[in-house]
Amino acid sequence: MDDPIVSPTVPSLILGLSAWSHDAAAALLVDGQLAATVEQERFSRRKRAMGEPPSDAARWCLDSVGAELEDVDVIALGVDHDLWRRWAQLSPEELATNRHPADPDWLFPPQLFHSRRTLKRPIRQVRHHLAHAASAYFPSGFEDAAIIVADGSGEDASTTLYYARNGHLKELTRFGVDLSLGYYYSRAARYAGLWQSADESGKLMGLAGYGRPGQVLPLSWRNGSPALELPPMVSMTPRRLAEETRQKLTEYFRRHNFPFTEASEEGALAYADFAASVQRSLDEVMIELARLAKRLTGSSNLVLAGGVALNCSTNGKLAESQIFERMFIPPAANDAGTALGAAFVCAAETRSVGFEMVHAYWGPSYSAAACRQALESSGLAYREVSDDQLLAEVVAHLAAGRIVGWFSGRAEIGPRALGARSLLGDPRARRTHVKLNQIKGREMWRPVAPSVLAENFFDYFEGPIPSPFMIVATNVRESMRKAIPAVVHVDGSARPQAVSAHANPKFWALLKRFAETTGIPLLANTSFNIETEPMVLQPAEAVRDFVNSNIDALALENFVVIKENAEGSSLP
């Protein structure tokens, strides 16, 4: 920037936004430090906020620090839509009917932002992959790092490698959208029928555990680059290339991969070997990308971002490879994280920024009064208890085989429940896995993850990285698998969350109390939501899901509710 953001005596506010096709979000930096970030879907209640502006998310971020839009010094958008639109070569008709995502009237509707006309500066558009890279590097705590960004596409790229040192990011190489790892994986998920209202590629990762890799697939590593063995592309622009790549991938799967038809009525398990083959090919290419990043940077540290970085199995393979000594993946590695990344890109131009992100709790919290009002509106009988009573009662319910809705503190950022908006169960009984999937309306073959006391992580898991964000898969120690069957996947793996007393004292204390009662320092943990809705955010949503499902008990901050017909053995 040519001029300082603000006077040194006035706190600077940078509002980062993610707004494109999905995962709209907002993030707010105050004097270069993260104050708040949250996804739009949590407010609109539409999963992944497809095509939505992050208006409610931005409104909450500002409210959380008592600011208005006119107080914001920089608004940063985590994608360069002007560049993309030029490369896409949109027709005049398309330009007329497609609202510009950086349009203030779209981003900041008057019903939420009365002062939207008083923006201090134009909205800054940051390259999508640069925003991804920044979202992972600046919260990593690393001085220097190799960065791999891999997703469907960002403007003209699908995978980009960066080197970061002392707050500066340098692009090293990029691969086009015709080599997209994100499109490859999402098209494979769609071929297997794992697609509802939006891309649900994560299901393919769970399905892969049931299969044996061996099917021939188009993805490989050749001549120092990812390669997709598809018919020659005829499109020229990134937009057309993306469309053609997705189409040709689907055609390839239909011709070459059992059961040779898309979304067979046989169900997803018919595609288990296909899923295992897709997963292995992605693992292999990502490991080669890591080796390339190591050669180009010489760094001991790796950070990952982009939708592909949500693949826990691949992340586990990268950790096991020990190509890098340390690795960091942010909890919102998907497009929601570009809101934070874009804000950091702008902040780093005028000040030193960065920190070590040890927790994901950057969303809203709610008062006891708000919780009480939600309960009273529902007509449920409830009790307010002390912290010690809360832990004792919740542990008793869990040990009795009951499923507990756990609502505590500030909401998580990212798609994983991390002990703020969680459904919890006893990992000692396989029945817990069944009950959790029934409550959520999920397929029975999908795994449930464990949250474990950080100090006991290596007692149960082989490591090597105790992730606090439930984003790195690892093998469960064979000697422990029978003790915690609810959270062991069919291939012996799990995607554990390591919980420290510093990061989440209350959730840590719950795990500690469960360990003292049962001898097991972990719980089965999945997101607090049912069917296709996003994770709950507000007390009323938690109460509604409790009433409308087979959740047995609800811990809403320090309020406890239990259903009269709750399953499980009787409590003492």
Residues known to be catalytic: 22
Q: Are residues 129 and 196 in the same domain?
A: no
Query: What is the mean predicted confidence (pLDDT) over 497-521?
Result: 98
Stretch 58-78: mean pLDDT: 96
Q: Give helix 238-256 / helix 181-191 axis angle, nearest 10°.
A: 40
Residues 394 and 536 in one domain: yes
Q: What mean pLDDT value characterizes the chain?
A: 93
Q: What is the pLDDT of residue 570?
A: 39
**Whether residue 207 sits in one domain with residue 264:** yes
What's the total number of domains in the chain? 3
CA distance 460 to 477: 5
Q: Verify that 157 and 298 share a domain, yes or no.
A: yes
CB 492 within 8 A of CB 475: yes
Does some domain include residue 568?
A: no
* 149-154 mean pLDDT: 96
Q: Cα angle at 272 between 267 and 276, to 5 degrees? A: 150
In a domain, 145, yes or no: yes
State whether 88 and 146 are in the same domain.
no
Per-residue DSSP letters for 274-309? HHHHHHHHHHHHHHHHHHHHHHHH--SEEEEESGGG
Backbone dihedral angles phi then psi of residue 498, each to the nearest 5 degrees: -90, 115
Report, as an integer, the average pLDDT of 501-519: 98
Looking at the structure, tell me whether residues 64 and 162 fall in a common domain.
Answer: no
Give the mean pLDDT of 436-453.
96
CB within 8 Å of 148: residues ≥ 6 apart? 159, 160, 161, 286, 289, 290, 293, 302, 303, 304, 305, 306, 309
On whether residue 571 sits in a domain, the answer given is: no
**Residue 346's Cα: distance from chain center in Å?**
23
User: Is residue 42 domain-resident?
Assistant: yes
Domain, as residue range, for 286: 141-329
Q: How many residues does the chain have?
A: 572
Sign of CA dihedral 184, 345, 504, 546: negative
Query: Does residue 36 contact residue 28 with C-beta atoms inside 8 Å?
Result: yes
User: Which residue blocks in 71-163 are alpha helix, DSSP H?
Assistant: 81-88, 92-97, 104-107, 128-137
491 with 528, same domain: the answer is yes
Query: What CATH number did the domain enclosing 192 receive?
Result: 3.30.420.40
257-280 pLDDT, tens per residue?
A: 999 999 998 999 999 999 999 999
| The pLDDT of residue 569 is above 60 | no
Dihedrals phi, psi of 377, to nearest 5 degrees? -65, -30
Asked if 38 and 364 count as a contact pair (C-beta separation under 8 A), the reply is yes
With respect to residue 105, please indicate whether it lies within any of the assigned structural domains.
yes
CB-based contact 508:391 (threshold 8 Å): no
Average pLDDT of the segment spanning 122-138? 96
In 113-258, which ranges are continuous DSSP H helix?
A: 128-137, 181-191, 202-208, 238-256
Report the alpha-carbon distance of residue 224 to residue 399 in Å, rounded: 52
Does the structure show a pLDDT above 50 at 382? yes
Indicate whether 124 and 167 sit together in one domain.
Answer: no
pLDDT at 89 over 80: no
Q: How much is the average pLDDT of 366-388? A: 98
| 409 lies in the same domain as 548 | yes
The pLDDT of residue 571 is 36
In which band, very low, low, confident or very high, does the pLDDT at 117 lie, cut at 50, 70 and 90?
low
HEC readout, 344-407: HHHHCCCCCCCCECCCCECCCCCCHHHHHHHHHHHCCCCEECCHHHHHHHHHHHHHCCCCEEEE
